Amino acid sequence: MSWLIQLVVNAAVLLIISHFFSGFEVAGFGTALLASFILAAVNVIVKPMLILFTLPITILSLGLFLFVINAIALWITSFIMGSTFIIDGFGTAILGAIVFAILNSLIHSFIVDPVTKR
């Protein structure tokens, strides 16, 4: 059940980001939900390999390079989704990854976690 909640929260965050950045476009909630599912799959399959290959850079940057890895995961998701989920450039992907991480963390710490602990 928590995995489903995570997918819905991620979809909502993707929609919020699409309203603030012009280069980050999502067709609708259904598209955002599918993109959230694909992003979860990319995070399970591709992200561990990227982290392993870039471990020295990640250590030297004190973990900040993980935002670049998250941007690559978003970009791969955009490539898989096609014309319904568009990220114009890599700079937009990095900004989207940073905002995605911040919003996702805030939503989980203030909304999802207190509700699920009841």
Instruction: For residue range 5-45, list pLDDT tens digits in order.
Output: 889 999 999 999 999 988 999 999 999 999 999 999 999 99
Whether 114 is in a domain gets the answer no
Whether 19 is in a domain gets the answer yes
Whether 10 is in a domain gets the answer yes
How many structural domains does the chain have?
Answer: 1
Whether 46 is in a domain gets the answer yes
- Give the model's pLDDT for residue 28: 92
Output the average pLDDT for the chain. 91
Write out the residue range of the structural domain in which residue 102 sits: 2-108
- Give the model's pLDDT for residue 52: 95
Whether 99 is in a domain gets the answer yes
Nearby residues of 51 by Cβ (< 8 Å), 6 or more positions away = 58, 66, 69
Whether 118 is in a domain gets the answer no
Rounded CA gap, 48 and 54, in Å? 10
- Give the model's pLDDT for residue 1: 56
Percent of the chain past pLDDT 90, that is, above it, reads 80
Whether 115 is in a domain gets the answer no
